[in-house]
Structure 1
C-alpha cells in the first residue's frame, strides 16, 4: 500500500489539522467534546477552529455526498497549508461483526458512483482506491486501544446516495470488500492525494449491516444533506410512525460523534 507523500505545504510548522465532517448533527457533538478544556478560537456556519495544547484543528462542515465533500476539501487545501486531513462521522456497517458504536479506522477508501463505477484517477484508467496514511492509522489505533473502544481496520466504501436497506448493504459488502460505507471519505481522500496531504478516515457505525433504516431521507433533506424543516414536517405528518425511528438515529449519531470527538482530542495531542 502506497501512502501519499506530504507536500512541503502540508509540513509547514504550526499548520492546522483539517477535520472534515458532513452534517451539523455530526459536527456539533464532535466540537463539544473538543472544547473543554480546549479553547475555541473561531466559529462560522461552515468552519470551527479549535486550539488544543498548542495545535489548531479546523473542523469543516462539508455537506453530504462526494461532490460536496471533495469541493470543500479542495477549497480548504487551496486556501491554507494543513498538516493532515481526517474524515470523521457516522457510517453504515458492511461487516456482520460490526455493532452500533464500533469505530472503523480506514486502510483505504473507495468511491462508487450510482452507475456502479469506481472513481478513476484519470479518464480511461483502471479503478482506483485511495490509501490512508499508515502513520495516522497507527496513531489512531494506539489511542483507540488505550480507550478500550471496539474498532476495526479495513476499507471504507463511499457512495453517492443513502443506502437504506440491509439487502443493498450486503450486496455492496460482497462487491467491494469494504467493512463500512459513507458518503464522503473517498472524495476527501481524492482531494488530499491531489494536494499531497496525508489522509485518514475514522468512522463510527450508526446502522449495522442487518438493519434497514426505513426512512426516505430524500423526501426532506436538502442538497447539502441538512433537514429542510417544512419538508420534514410534511414527511412526518404523512409517516408519523417514523418519528421514533428518526429520534433514535439522532441519539445514536450524537453518541457516536461524541466518542469520535473524544478520540480526536486525544489523537491531536499525539501527532507531531
Structure 2
C-alpha cells in the first residue's frame, strides 16, 4: 500500500510507540527504530525508541505522512498507590520537566471514557515527563508529592508538544507496568543501553552474579504482561477510537 497516497484527503491517526514490546501490542510487523507502518488506511504506527527526542522525531514523521491526530501509546510508571499494574491510564493533562502543561483533546478523552469505562479500570489524571528512567519507589513517591501526577513516562509530552505545534488533537493511551511501590530490579537498570532497551547478555551476566534479583524480575514480567494485556484489549477498539474523531470532523 502506498501510505502517502491521498494522505491529505484521508483521516489518519498516528500512533507513537517507544519499545518493540509496546509495538507488539498493536501489530506483528517488525520495525527498525525510526520506522513506521500502516495498520490500515486510517492508522499509522511509528516505532520511536525511548526518550523525548526519539518520540518527537517519530511524531513529526507521522505528521509529515498526513497524520491529523496523534496518540502516545505504551506503558507508564505509577506514582500513586491508586494505580495498579494493568490499569489503563489516559491523562487529561501532561506536565513537562519545564513545568509546561498540555491538555488532551477533551471530546476524544470523553469518548474513550464512555467507550471503555465499563470494560476495564480506567483512570484519567495528570501524567508527568521524565528525561530518565525512574526505577526507585522512593523517587516515584517524591515526584508524586512534588507534582501530584499519578503516572510518569518519557515520551508522551514530546508527542503532545508536536501535536500542539501542528494544531492537531492528541491523546495518550498508557497501561501501568511498574507500580509506585516497586523498585525496578537492578538487573534491568544495569542492563539498559542508551536507547532504554535491555541487553540480554548483560542481563544474564548480572543475574549470574546476583541471583537474588530473579524474584524481582519475575514480578516485573508479570506486571508488564498485565500492562500488555490491557493495551491489546484497547488495540481491538482502535477503529471505534479513531472513527469517533473522523465523525466529529476535527481536523
TM-score w.r.t. structure 1 length? 0.78
- 1:132 to 2:143 alignment: no
1:122 is aligned to none
- 1:263 to 2:234 alignment: yes
Distance 1:246 1:106 in 2: 28
CA positional deviation for 1:164: 1.3
Structure 2, unaligned stretches of length 5 or more? 1-6, 247-251
- Relative contact order higher in (CA < 8 Å, ≥ 6 apart): 1
- Aligned with 2:19 (options 23, 37, 42): 23
> Per-residue displacement from partner, 1:145-192 (whole Å, max 9, x unpaired)?
242x11111010110111112211111001111111111111111111
- 1:226 to 2:197 alignment: yes
Question: Which aligned pairs between 1:122-161 and structure 2 lie closer than 5 A?
Answer: 127-147=99-119, 149-161=120-132
- 1:65 to 2:51 alignment: yes
- Does the aligned pair in 1 maintain the 2:86–2:229 contact within 8 Å? no
- Does the aligned pair in 2 maintain the 1:108–1:130 contact within 8 Å? yes
- Does the aligned pair in 2 maintain the 1:43–1:49 contact within 8 Å? no
2:70 is aligned to 85
- Does the aligned pair in 2 maintain the 1:68–1:224 contact within 8 Å? no
Q: CA separation of 1:255/1:210 partners in 2, compared to 1, >3 Å: closer, same or farther?
A: closer
CA positional deviation for 1:210: 1.9
Distance 1:142 1:264 in 2: 16
- 1:238 to 2:209 alignment: yes
Q: CA separation of 1:195/1:28 partners in 2, compared to 1, >3 Å: closer, same or farther?
A: same
2:138 is aligned to 167
2:38 is aligned to 49
Distance 1:168 1:177 in 2: 13
CA positional deviation for 1:86: 0.7
- Does the aligned pair in 2 maintain the 1:21–1:60 contact within 8 Å? yes
1:101 is aligned to 86
Distance 1:238 1:69 in 2: 35
CA positional deviation for 1:218: 4.1
Q: CA separation of 1:248/1:175 partners in 2, compared to 1, >3 Å: closer, same or farther?
A: same
Instruction: Give the 4+ runs in structure 1 shifted more than 4 A.
Output: none
Distance 2:10 2:226 in 1: 31
1:192 is aligned to 163
Please, what is the CA RMSD of the aligned residues?
2.1
- 1:178 to 2:149 alignment: yes
1:74 is aligned to 60
TM-score w.r.t. structure 2 length? 0.84
CA positional deviation for 1:262: 2.3
Instruction: Provide the aligned length of Structure 1 versus Structure 2.
Output: 235
Q: CA separation of 1:85/1:96 partners in 2, compared to 1, >3 Å: closer, same or farther?
A: same
